[in-house]
Amino acid sequence: MSETRRCPWPVGLAAGGVILFLMLPVAVVILAAFSETAYLTILPKGLTLKWFVAVLQDDDYLRAAWTSLWLASAATAASLVLGVAAAWALHRKLVPGARALASFFMAPLILPSVVLGVALLQYYVVTGLRGHTVSLWLAHVVITVPYVVRAALSSLASCDDSLEDAAAVLGANRLAGFWLVTLPIIRPGLTAAGLFAFITSFDNVPVTVFLLSASQNTLPVKIFTSVEQGVDPRIAAVSALLILATGLILLVAERWAGFHKNL
């Protein structure tokens, strides 16, 4: 049996310092959300929930949150379908130039988000699609598909292709073999891909801000514009709610997919 190697204390101390440094801003934001003062303070002066109530009663924030939620959900669903199909075709080399196409799908990850946003803006202006809900959704699909393709390719690389071939020998067609054999095996990787895609779409500002119409707004863009006008505790309250929601989503995903089992 292999012995468990203990991490040297200097490495553990350095890792703890890095984690503390990364988590300190999160703690500051959460504490500021409970402050009674109308301005942000590092340590809260009194404890109150009025900023959370103010956010939940603000129609602008609620509409922006709803727009971000459905947009991220729709983009994630489309990205999972398109990304998994593309990754399976590339993995099986069903299309010529599979390696070059795989690199092409990663292009949105390499390009700066601002450049991508300006390019999409110019394209939508020329085609007359700017300001439409579908065009915003398509833009979010473009920026989220690479995460799904990359995660799906990594999961498929560790999957035994002979299992799907065995299902075909037993009478299953390609679609049934993938759905019943391959998909359950790569489910943890696809769950992670879906989370990355959802968070990327929900949190996107550089691309979204170029494509929104006057009547549209998303929660990150709303926060961004609110910060430009002046920082108030409602922004900290929204951030605290987003941190809580992200933690709950990750907990549910861990319970459902069991990421730790694949480490």
Tens-digit pLDDT profile for residues 211-232: 888 788 899 998 888 877 777 7
The answer to whether residue 53 sits within a structural domain is no
Q: What is the pLDDT of residues 52-83, one digit of tens each?
A: 898 889 898 899 999 999 999 999 999 999 99
Question: Quick one: average pLDDT of 119-124?
Answer: 90
* Structure tokens belonging to residue 150: 């990359």
Handedness of CA 253, 258, 260, 263 (dihedral sign): negative
The answer to whether residue 2 sits within a structural domain is no
Does 64 share its domain with 118? yes
Confidence class of residue 139 from pLDDT cuts 50, 70 and 90? very high
Does 31 share its domain with 73? no
**Burial grade of 107 (CB within 10 A; 0-12, 13-18, 19 or more):** exposed
The answer to whether residue 238 sits within a structural domain is yes
Does 235 share its domain with 129? yes
Q: What is the pLDDT of residues 14-55, one digit of tens each?
A: 888 898 888 888 888 888 888 887 766 667 777 888 888 988
Sequence-ordered strand ranges (E) for the chain: none
Domain range spanning residue 82? 59-262
Does 163 share its domain with 186? yes
pLDDT, position 74? 95
Side chain identity at residue 61, one-letter code: Y
**Number of alpha carbons in the 13 Å side-chain half-sphere of residue 233:** 24
Q: What is the mean pLDDT of the chain?
A: 83
Question: Based on the structure, what is the number of domains in the chain?
Answer: 2
Place of tokens 């989370």: 195
Does 41 share its domain with 73? no
Does 127 share its domain with 242? yes
* Structure tokens belonging to residue 32: 């500021």
Does 92 share its domain with 15? no
Cβ distance 236 to 33 under 8 Å? yes
Confidence class of residue 248 from pLDDT cuts 50, 70 and 90? confident
> Could you report how far apart the first and last alpha carbons of the chain are, in Å?
19
Confidence class of residue 262 from pLDDT cuts 50, 70 and 90? very low
Looking up residue 165, the CATH number of its domain turns out to be: 1.10.3720.10
* Structure tokens belonging to residue 246: 């992200």
- Chain-centroid distance, C-alpha 96: 30
The answer to whether residue 26 sits within a structural domain is yes
pLDDT, position 2? 45
- Per mean pLDDT, which range of 133-147, 194-208, 244-258 is the poorest? 244-258
